[in-house]
Amino acid sequence: MSNQETNPELEDLLEYIKRNRGFDFSGYKRTSLSRRIQRRMQTISIENYTDYLDYLEVHPDEFIELFNTILINVTAFFREGQAWEYVASEIIPAILANKHLNKPIRVWSAGCASGEETYSIAILLAEALGMEQYTTRVKVFATDVDVEALNMARQASYNPKDIESVPANLQQKYFERVNGRYIVQKELRRGVIFGRHDLVQDAPISKIDLLVCRNTLMYFNTETQAKILDRFHFALNDNGFLFLGKAEMLFTRNHSFTPIDLRRRVFTKVPNGNLRDMLLSMANSSRQQAVPEIVDQIRLHEAAFEIDPVAQLVVDLNSIVILANAETRNLFNLNPRDLGRPLQDLELSYRPVELRSRIDHVRSTRRPIILKDIEWSTTDREMKSLDVQIMPLMDDNTDEILGTKIVFIDVTRFKNLQQELVNANQELETAYEELQSTNEELETTNEELQSTVEELETTNEELQSTNEELETMNEELQSTNEELQTINEELRQRSQELNRVNGFLESILTSLRVGVVVLSPDLHVLIWNRKAEDLWGLRFDEVFSKHFMSLDINLPLEPLRQPIRAIISGDSEHYEVLLDAINRRGRAIQCQVICNPLLGNASDIQGLIILMEERPQVE
C-alpha cells in the first residue's frame, strides 16, 4: 500500500474478508478496490464500510456478490489477435525447438477467469503439435482465485457470441455444438488442469515453458506486482516465455525479464548467473637464453612491475617484503627502506585489511583469495574501495610455493559509477512506475467501461429477443415443462446411482482392515481411507492432492521412492516391504507396505495403489 492513503474502515473490512473467507486483497490497488466495493454498497444502499461489514456478518451470502463485483473477469478467445498470432508463429515454435520430442510442455495460464484464453493457448499448441502429441506432452495449468469462474471454465461451454473471435476452421475442429452452445472438444480439455491459486500467497507452479498472465497484474499495487513477478521468474524455465496483457509494462522487473516483442508484451526470462569471470594467464619464458638476455629480461620484468598502474606487493615464505611497485608505495606511503622488512612490521599488514592470516591460508591451500569492496581511508582522508587479491607464486618445475603476491585494485571509480547508475535506475524506475500506474488505472477504467458496454449490449439484445419470444412462449411453456420433468427425473436417478456407487466404494474402503492410499501418476493423493487415517493421524482433507513423498507421517517413505517410480514407469508390477514405523498413538509398529499399479480399461497405468497393514511385532 505504498504511496496510497489508507482508510482504516476499508482496511478493517479487508481484514475481515481475509479472516473469514481466505481472500487476501491487501495487495490490490486501493483506488480500484474501493471503487468496486462502493459499487456493490450502492446496490444494497449502504453508505460506509463499517455498516457493510455488519451487513456481511448478518448476510454471509453477500460474500458471493461482493467477490463477483471485485473480481472483474473480462476475457475472450484470442483477445488482441495480433499478439496471439505472434505467439503462434514465433513463441510456440521456439518452445518446440528447445524441447526433445519426448519431453513434456508445461504452460501456466494465471488469472484464467472463465477459461477463454486458457483454451486459446491449448488450441494453438494442438495446432502446432497435432492432437496425438498434444494429449501426451502438453499440460496447461489454469489458475484463478475466483472459484465460480473456475467452475465455468471447467464446463467449457460458451454461447455463439463468445466464440466469434475464434476462426471458423478452429471452431469446427475444436468445438462441439450442443443445445445451441459450443462445448470445447473433450481431447483438448484433457490437457487443461484448473485449480484455485492465489498469485500473492500460494507457491508458484514450476518448470513452466510459457506463462500467460494477461491484464491481471494491473489490479495489484507496485509492491505486490514485484512479488508476483519474482514468483513468475522462479516458475519459468531458463528458456521460458512470459506473455502479458497490453496494460502491463513490466518496467519494475526489467532485470528479471527481457522483452522479445514489447508491443505484444512477450518477454523471456533472464537466467541468474555470474556477473563476470576472471581470466588469469601466465606466459612461460624459455630457459635456453644467453646470460645478457636473461639480465635484460629481468630488468624488463622489473620495469614493467614498477610502472604497473595496479598496486602489487610480493612477500617470500618468511613474510619478508621483497617487491613493492611505485603504485603500492604511493598508495600506502611506503619507502624503499621498507623492502626487506617483515610484513608484520608494516601498517599494511593489518590496514586496510588483515593480511597475515590470509597469506598463511593461501600458502596452505595453494589457492588465491579475493576480497571485495574493502573500504579504506587514505592519509588525505579520501575514502577508497579496493579489491584485494592474494595469490600463491608457484615454481613451474617443482610445483613448490615461492612466495605470495598481493594485488590492490582501486575500484573506487567503479563503485561511484555503480552507485550513480543505481540512483539513476531508481529515479527512472520511479518514473516508469508512475507511468505504469497511470496507464494501468486508465486500462482498468477502460476494462470496466468495456464490461459495462458489453452488459448493456447483452441487455438490449435480450430485450429484443424477449419481445419476439413472448408471442410463442405460451405454446412452448407446456412442452418445456414436460421436458424439464423428464430431465429432472433422469438427473435424480443418475444422482441416486452415483450416490449408491460412491457409498459402495466408501463402504469397501472403510471395511478394509488395511490402509488404502491411491496416488495419481505424479504421486498426489487421490484416496486415503479410514484405516490410513487411524494409522498415521492425518485426515483425508489434510492429504488430498498433496505429494505422497512430502507427507509428515511416521512411516519411512524414502525406501518406497525407487519402487514407486519403477511401478509408475511400468518397469515393475508389484512391490512389497516390511517397514518399522510409529503409528499416530506413538507406538512402534511394523507396517507391511504393498504397492501395485492402478490400471485403466486399456491396461495403461493411471496411478498407484498402496496398501498399509500393521503387523504384530516379532519378539
**Model confidence over 18-45: pLDDT tens digits?**
787 666 677 666 787 788 888 888 888 8
Q: Which candidate, 218, 203, 269, 38, places its Cα nearest to that of 547?
A: 203
- May I ask the CATH architecture of the domain 292-410? 2-Layer Sandwich (3.30)
Instruction: Say what percent of the chain tops pLDDT 90.
Output: 30
**CATH, domain range 8-70:** 1.10.155.10
**Span 308-357, pLDDT tens digits:** 788 888 998 888 888 888 888 888 888 877 888 888 888 888 888 888 88
* pLDDT at residue 617, rounded to an integer: 67
d(CA 160, CA 271): 43
% of the chain exceeding 70 in pLDDT? 89
For domain 81-269, the CATH architecture is: 3-Layer(aba) Sandwich (3.40)
Alpha-carbon torsion (154, 160, 161, 165), positive or negative? positive
Q: How far is CA 4 from the centre of its chain?
A: 27
Q: What is the pLDDT of residue 396?
A: 66
Quickly state the pLDDT bin for 284 (edges 50, 70, 90).
Answer: very low
pLDDT value of residue 378: 72
Out of 456-460, 502-506, 522-526, the most confident range is 522-526
User: What is the dotted CATH code of the domain comprising 510-615?
Assistant: 3.30.450.20
Examine domains 292-410 and 510-615 and report if their fold is the same.
Answer: yes
Q: Hey, what's the cell of 95?
A: 518452445
Q: Is 595 helix (H, G, I), strand (E, B) or coil?
A: strand
Burial class (CB in 10 A: 0-12, 13-18, 19+), 320: middle
Sequence spans of domains, the chain: 8-70, 81-269, 292-410, 510-615
Out of 191-200, 388-397, 447-456, the most confident range is: 191-200
214-218, 250-254, 384-388, 424-428, range with the lowest pLDDT? 250-254
Residue range 555-614, pLDDT digits in tens: 998 999 999 999 998 888 899 999 999 998 889 999 999 999 998 877 788 899 999 998
At residue 298, the pLDDT reads 52
Q: What is the pTM of this model?
A: 0.45
Residue 618 has pLDDT above 70, yes or no: no
- Whether the per-residue pLDDT at 513 is higher than 90: the answer is no
pLDDT at site 297: 55
Q: Is 493 helix (H, G, I), strand (E, B) or coil?
A: helix
Q: Is 103 helix (H, G, I), strand (E, B) or coil?
A: coil
Q: Which of 261, 269, 167 is nearest to 209 (CA)?
A: 269
pLDDT at 22: 60
Closest to 553 in 3D by CA, of 528, 529, 583: 583
Helices (H), 269-366: 291-307, 326-332, 356-365
Residue 253: pLDDT band by 50, 70, 90 thresholds?
very low
CA distance 612 to 103: 34
DSSP string for residues in 435-457: HHHHHHHHHHHHHHHHHHHHHHH
* Amino acid sitting at position 16: Y
